[in-house]
Amino acid sequence: MELRGALIGCGFFAANHLHAWQDIPGARIVALCDRDPARLADYGDKFGIQSRYTDAADLFVREKLDFVDIATTAGTHRLLVEMAAQHRVPTICQKPFAPSMEDAEAMVRACEAAGIPLMVHENFRWQTPIQAVADVIRSGRIGKPFFARVSFRSAYDVFSGQPYLAEGERFIIEDLGIHILDVARFLLGDASRITARTQRVNPAIRGEDVATMLLDHASGATSVVDCSYATRLATEPFPETLVEVDGSDGSIRLGQGYQMVVTSPQGVETTDVAPALLPWATRPWHNIQESVLAIQNHWIECLRQRQEPTTSGHDNLKTFALVEAAYRSAGTGQTIDLTNG
Ligand code: NAD
Ligand code: 89V
């Protein structure tokens, strides 16, 4: 049976969702919603979707849906997720999940009470190179990981496509660090403590554009998560996340250009873990674009198998708690303990 979805929020990033939905057999976006009629018309025409709404409340009343994909910015997530829960429509919500922990927890509660699945579109861990690193860790080839560095440093102009990123009081941890912290959790497990420092180098924006974070993981491992949009490099790496993992028996280095070097008792192996360039993708975004297809495929599989998505709302509360704690640490200079509430 074909699964019928609706997409809310026809902005900058939603084009990737819509392209990816077209590539997923057995699922179809049957309706679109955006409060901006021009954007609604543009995406409706481009993707051949005739059912269009400027008011999400109308969409939920009039459409018979198997899921909804919310691709608006964080300020509207709670309202829309609670609306979906009220209509018992399984929901995907873009990151950042919410502007506050209170909102994030309320959304998880609303979906649990309605008995519907909720997945946060936290796609970075679904990138091909990140999955490749996780596969090596899982294989046991490098032994027990005791250290990781997960690093995203760039000077790419993200503000031209997403002008709101220059306007918020918070920037890099909330928008980008959230992905990188999630990757650290994905690779090394949950964190118990975090220490963070932030800087603003670009005077034209309001929030911080550099963040350096130190995490203690429950496993005993330590990680450094560092993010910058103020780093000019010989070859611009956007949007590559670089990873180093040291284990008791070896190491992994995911370097720029999507090259992964694994050193283990079996020797040294270099693998090209570059993402595919999907027909609708454009460099340098293709790594992220491929992960959109991967996470949406995962959602459909989970819906069909009645399984909890790996980045469920419940799981994402832990990534969101790291974001909140990082800002608290940067503000106070203190290490924040995540184990006591
Ligand atoms: P955008 O501002 O370009 O688009 C948001 C759209 O939502 C706008 O067209 C707006 O009119 C519409 N909208 C807002 N409130 C609405 C409502 N109540 N009902 C209907 N429509 C509404 O934003 P964007 O850059 O596309 O980002 C959207 C989200 O995607 C953000 O949360 C952002 O952080 C996230 N994002 C994720 C990734 C990723 O890789 N996961 C990449 C980029 C952006
Ligand atoms: O993935 C994101 O959320 C984007 C970007 C990669 C530009 O930070 O906002």
* CATH fold label, 125-282+318-337: Dihydrodipicolinate Reductase; domain 2 (3.30.360)
Query: Could you read off the pLDDT of 195-246 as tens digits, one per residue?
Result: 999 999 999 999 999 999 999 999 999 999 999 999 999 999 999 999 999 9
Distance of CA 102 from the midpoint of ligand 1 (Å): 21
Distance of CA 334 from the midpoint of ligand 1 (Å): 33
Contacts of 125 (CB under 8 A, 6+ apart): 131, 134, 182, 183, 186, 310, 311
**pTM greater than 0.95 (yes/no):** yes
CB burial of 144-167 (b: ≥16 within 10 Å; e: otherwise) equals ebbebbbbbbbbeebbeeeeebbe
Note whether 72 and 59 are within 8 A (CB).
no
* Backbone phi and psi for residue 63, each to the nearest 5 degrees, phi listed first: -100, 145
The DSSP H or E segment spanning 207 is none
Distance of CA 212 from the midpoint of ligand 1 (Å): 27
How far apart CA 196 and CA 226 sit, in angstroms, is 9
Q: Which stretches in the chain have pLDDT values below 50?
A: none
Output the CATH code of domain 3-116.
3.40.50.720
Contacts of 17 (CB under 8 A, 6+ apart): 7, 69, 71, 121, 292, 296
Tell me which residue has its CA closest to atom 18 in ligand 1: 76
Q: Is the ipTM of this complex over 0.95?
A: yes
Q: Does the beta carbon of 176 lie inside 6 Å of ligand 2? A: yes
Which residue carries 């309320």 as its tokens?
106
Note whether 51 and 31 are within 8 A (CB).
yes
| Domain range annotation of the chain | 3-116, 125-282+318-337
Query: Could you read off the pLDDT of 21-59 as tens digits, one per residue?
Result: 999 999 999 999 999 999 999 999 999 999 999 999 999
How far apart CA 212 and CA 177 sit, in angstroms, is 10
Pocket perturbation via mutation, ligand 1, pick of 72, 170, 319 by most ligand atoms within 8 A of CB: 72
Distance of CA 146 from the midpoint of ligand 1 (Å): 37
- pLDDT reported for residue 341: 62
Q: Tell me which residue of 200, 151, 195 sits closest to 176, measured CA to CA.
A: 151
- pLDDT reported for residue 340: 76
Residues of the chain with pLDDT > 70, as a percent, come to 100
Distance of CA 307 from the midpoint of ligand 1 (Å): 27
- pLDDT reported for residue 330: 98
How far apart CA 243 and CA 187 sit, in angstroms, is 10
Q: Do domains 3-116 and 125-282+318-337 have the same CATH topology?
A: no
Q: Does the beta carbon of 85 lie inside 6 Å of ligand 1? A: no
